[in-house]
Amino acid sequence: MAKKRLKIIPLGGLGEIGKNMMVLEFGEDIIVIDSGLMFPNEEMLGIDLVIPDISYLLENREKIRGIVITHAHEDHIGALPYVLPQINVPIYCTRLAKGLISGKLKERKALAQAKINVINPGGQFNLGRFKIEFYPVCHSIPDAVGLIIQTPVGTVIHSGDFKLDHTPVNGLPTDLSRLAQIGGQEVLLLLADSTYAELPGYTPSEKVVGEALDRIIAKAPGRVIITTFASLVSRVQQIINAAAHHHRRVFITGRSMSDTVKIATELGYLKIPDGVLARIDELRNMPHEKTVIITTGSQGEPTSGLVRIANRDHRQVNIVKGDTVVYSASPIPGNESLINRTIDSLFKQGADVYYGRIAQTHVHGHASQEELKLLLRLVKPRYFMPIHGEYRHLNLHARLAQSVGIPAENTFALEDGDILELSPKWGKVTGKVGTGNVYVDGLSVGDVGGIILRNRKMLSRDGIVVVIIAVNKQTGKLVGRPDIVSRGFVDINESKDMLEESRDLVAKILDHGRRHTAEWGFADSKVRDALNRFYYEHTKRRPMILPVMVKV
């Protein structure tokens, strides 16, 4: 029998930003690292969320010892409500992550089944043949960790999402000493965050933003309205500190912001001095120069606090001249135009707006190139695998690894589903498991596939023409004149003549005494072809043509 090897199988998160999920397998034991979702891109019309395909996990259900969570961002925990009902295994995570995951599961009514174990940063636990240690990392949410995993073939380090902030605002700095210590004892494999592998230099410390926010609040003549990610607790802390410093009261608006502030305060991650926080209904009587409002909407979400404010659709807040609005967040790719529209609208109403391109109101939470090289130098892994990123990020990160001495043949820029097998002296991609996007659309998970998306795409471009063809159920022959109804295609009044002409065309095609009932496939494709050609000639558009036969 062949010697057992360690298998590393990414089920999501390579070649895309989001839906992070990684399998570590040795013999009869599997651990799963993270279970994230991805937000749909512009091709995924009507889709709410995207989660990983977990067929491999379902096939190997009895081997799974647990799901280990590095931190509580959606791209690392968002698939849990869909995954847990299918594979009910224990979860291992830090305290804040447990709080946020519980909230999420409760919302989806899946809490009862979940066993969530809290492990503090620095803590250790065993899952089958794997011995796992959480080490603290800095990221844009408190209580984030990386993993040191002892396996029978050697040590694996999983960086989680991280940066090296020497002056973090809350929590611990990334534990470089522990990494150096482990790096001195031979590390088999490093899996490291590639999200910002494009950026040269170092990512600035979270502290920098606090100073910028303090300056803006100091000189603002009226209200200061600040939006950020709800989970960016250190940012909320800095806003509260700056507000308190300038004797302003703080109002929280937007559901996810209120929820997170509540959980983070209860768990002790957010420290709010007495008398600073005020209820939103006290806002009316507060002098503008004594007011700071923290709200959701940093990504231009249509129902969020800031977007309602920008659209003059917020119950408590209407922009007036003298207001200052601060975007303390960066656009998630794809959201740029929604955000720009919101900024434009705020400017139009007289607000002074500060945002990333014109002021340092945000720093992100991922390591830049110099930090990535430092991690590689400290850990000195035999094998390296870039994770968390699109292909260009993975490739650039692999290039960085080679620049600090990892041989190209020991660097694995993989795709989702690739099986990387490792022994202490040997590493190779040996196969592939099925992976892909599973679409969540409304209540259903996985029923939307290629055909539905292609149809939505086609409908979105040039609309639809429905052709109603009545045939006699005995003779199979055409009855009356075919009817045509269109939506999203042309202006029905302006194009009346053309649409009428196309009805005649259908009548002409079908009116040859054929038994259309018997040969509906033939009639159907003849009508489609003829109308496709006719409409394209007249409009250069290609609506979906949907012939419907009615037997009468």
Residues with a catalytic annotation lie at 193, 366
SS3 state of residue 108: coil
Report, in Å, the least distance between residue 21 CB and a second copy: 20
- Interface pick for a second copy out of 221, 302, 407, 442 (rule CB under 8 A): 442
Integer Cα distance of 305 and 35 in angstroms: 28
Least separation, in Å, of the C-beta of 101 and a second copy?
23
Nearest to 238 by CA among 204, 206, 277: 206
Q: Give the DSSP H or E segment for 508.
A: helix 496-510
- CA gap 80, 63 in Å, rounded: 18
Residue 42 within binding range of a second copy, rule CB under 8 A:
yes
Closer of 378 and 396 to a second copy (Cβ)? 396
The CB-of-538 to a second copy minimum distance in angstroms stands at: 7
Q: Does 329 bind a second copy (CB under 8 A)?
A: no
d(CA 268, CA 97): 13
Q: Give dist(CA 432, CA 56) in Å, integer.
A: 10
Which residue, 27 or 446, has its beta carbon nearer to a second copy?
Answer: 446
Q: Does 332 bind a second copy (CB under 8 A)?
A: no
Write the binding mask 464 to 503 for a second copy: x where contact by CB under 8 A, - elsewhere. x-x-x-x--------xx--x-x-xxxxx--xx--------
The token pair that represents 355 in the structure block: 């945002």
The single residue among 265, 373, 380, 391 that binds a second copy, judged by CB under 8 A, is 391
Which of 86, 126, 337, 430 is close enough to bind a second copy by CB under 8 A? 337
Asked whether position 461 contacts a second copy by CB under 8 A, the answer is: yes
- Least Å distance between CB 503 and a second copy? 14
**Under rule CB under 8 A, residue 387 binds a second copy:** no
Q: Where do runs of H (alpha helix) occur along 60-200?
A: 74-77, 80-83, 95-107, 176-183
Of 221, 334, 431, 513, the residue at the interface with a second copy (CB under 8 A) is: 334
CB of 32 vs a second copy, minimal distance in Å: 26
What's the closest the beta carbon of residue 549 comes to a second copy, in angstroms?
9
- Going from the C-alpha of 137 to that of each of 144, 147, 179, 363, the distances in angstroms are 6, 10, 11, 16
345 in contact with a second copy (CB under 8 A): yes
Span interacting with a second copy, options 105-113, 331-339, 499-507, 524-532, rule CB under 8 A: 331-339
Write down the least CB distance from residue 83 to a second copy, Å: 20
Q: Does 357 bind a second copy (CB under 8 A)?
A: yes
CA atoms of 292 and 252, how far apart (whole Å): 9
Give the three-state DSSP class for 155: strand
Cβ proximity to a second copy: between 61 and 496 the closer is: 496
Which is closer to a second copy, CB of 46 or CB of 122?
A: 46
Candidate residues 396, 420, 506, 523; the one interacting with a second copy per rule CB under 8 A: 396
Residue 241 and residue 209: Cα distance in Å, rounded? 12
How many amino acids of this chain bind a second copy (CB under 8 A)? 69
* One character per residue 169-198, x = contact with a second copy (rule: CB under 8 A): -----------------------------x
**Shortest Cβ 489–a second copy spacing (Å):** 7
- Identify which range of 98-106, 164-172, 340-348, 374-382 contacts a second copy by CB under 8 A: 340-348
**Which residue type is seen at 398?**
A
- List the beta bridge partners of residue 267: none
Report the largest interatomic distance among the alpha carbons of the chain, rounded to a whole angstrom. 87
Q: Give me the phi and psi of 395, to 5 degrees please.
A: -65, -40
- DSSP E strand boundaries for 241-280: 249-253, 277-278
Residue 463 binds a second copy (CB under 8 A)? yes
Contacts made by residues 147-152, CB under 8 angstroms, sequence distance 24+: 147/33, 147/68, 147/70, 148/178, 148/182, 149/24, 149/31, 151/6, 151/24, 151/26, 151/188, 152/4, 152/6, 152/26, 152/27
Which class for 472: exposed (0-12), middle (13-18), buried (19 or more C-beta within 10 A)?
A: middle
CB of 39 to a second copy, least distance (A): 12
Strand-pairing partners, residue 465, are 486, 545
Site for a second copy contains 125 (CB under 8 A): no
**Distance in angstroms between the alpha carbons of the first and the last residue of the chain:** 70
Part in contact with a second copy (CB under 8 A); list of ranges 64-72, 135-143, 226-234, 542-550: 542-550
251 near a second copy, judged by CB under 8 A = no
Nearer to a second copy, 289 or 483 (CB): 483
Asked whether position 540 contacts a second copy by CB under 8 A, the answer is yes
Residue number, 41 or 60, with CB nearest to a second copy:
41
Non-local CB neighbours of 348 within 8 Å, separated by 6+ positions:
none
Q: Does 455 bind a second copy (CB under 8 A)?
A: yes
Q: How far is the CB of 451 from a second copy (least distance, A)?
A: 8
Closer residue to a second copy (CB): 434 or 480 = 480
Helices and strands in the chain, H and E counts:
15, 26
* 427 residue type, one letter: G
Side chain identity, residue 383: Y
Torsion angle (degrees, nearest 10) of CA 169, 175, 177, 180:
-140
457 binds a second copy (CB under 8 A): yes
Kindly state the DSSP code that residue 163 receives in the 8-state scheme.
B
Residue 550 in contact with a second copy, rule: CB under 8 A: yes
The C-alpha R_g of the chain, in whole angstroms, comes to 28
Residue ranges binding a second copy (CB under 8 A): 15, 41-42, 45-46, 198-200, 333-334, 336-337, 340, 343-345, 347-348, 353, 357-358, 390-392, 395-396, 415, 441-444, 447-449, 452-453, 455-457, 459-464, 466, 468, 470, 479-480, 483, 485, 487-491, 494-495, 538-541, 544, 546, 548, 550-552
